[in-house]
Amino acid sequence: MNILHWKQKDWSGREFALRTIDRPMGTITFESWSSYDAVYTSGTATISFKNKGWFEQEVTITYNGEEIGKAKASLFGKTKVILNSGETYLLTSEFFTYNRKVQDVAGKTLISFKQPSFSFGKGDIIVSEELPELTKEVLVSTSLYLKSVAEHQAAILIIIFVPIFIRNVFGS
């Protein structure tokens, strides 16, 4: 297994650095606070993520200018990454944690995100050595992108609905 580390670069949660134990690997940068479009850049690739929708999302994944697949995500459902090559991967999350997994269609875990409970801006990514380098880079950047989008959306929902809930429970 290969171990990678990711870290949020600032308080906004809109830029993330990805590295191996001994060297930088790449950076994911979102276009703005309100946009879910982002770009991952490394020494070998530029991977763009263009998002359509909010509750039901379709994300176009472009590798060095060429569309290579899509991710389909639902705020309340499963997330799939479907590459043009025909490969499909499922992203799952553990309840009440920030941990996530990327699995192939047979259910084999290829990538695991491990994030301590009170470590909001950093974590480890454990990657199967079986993944080819290109697939690894695409899946790691895509799953980190999708993880950050899901957490950002959850935070927005909490900001919107907690005051409404409190007002309804405790009166106006």
* Mean pLDDT per 10-residue interval, the chain, length 172 residues: 89 85 93 86 95 80 96 78 95 76 94 80 92 92 86 62 71 63
Residue 129: CB partners within 8 Å, gap ≥ 6?
1, 2
| Residue 75 pLDDT | 62
Residues 41, 169: contact at Cβ < 8 Å?
A: no
Domain with 115, as residue range(s), is 2-170
Q: Which two tokens stand for residue 60?
A: 């176009």
| Residue 103 pLDDT | 94
As a whole number of angstroms, the distance between CA 48 and CA 75 comes to 21
pTM: 0.82
Residue pLDDT, tens place only, 85-104: 999 999 987 766 668 899 99
Q: List the CATH number of the domain containing 83.
A: 2.40.160
Q: Which of 100, 153, 150 is nearest to 125 (CA)?
A: 100
| Residue 158 pLDDT | 61
Q: Which two tokens stand for residue 7?
A: 């870290």
| Residue 148 pLDDT | 81
Cα–Cα distances (Å) from 6 to 20, 27, 95, 118, 141, in that order, read: 9, 9, 21, 15, 10
Q: How many domains does the chain have?
A: 1
According to DSSP, residue 30 is labeled E
Residues 153, 146: contact at Cβ < 8 Å?
A: no
Instruction: Please report the beta strands in 9-87, taking only residues with DSSP state E, as ranges in sequence order.
Output: 15-19, 24-30, 38-42, 46-52, 56-63, 66-74, 79-83
As a whole number of angstroms, the distance between CA 172 and CA 25 comes to 51
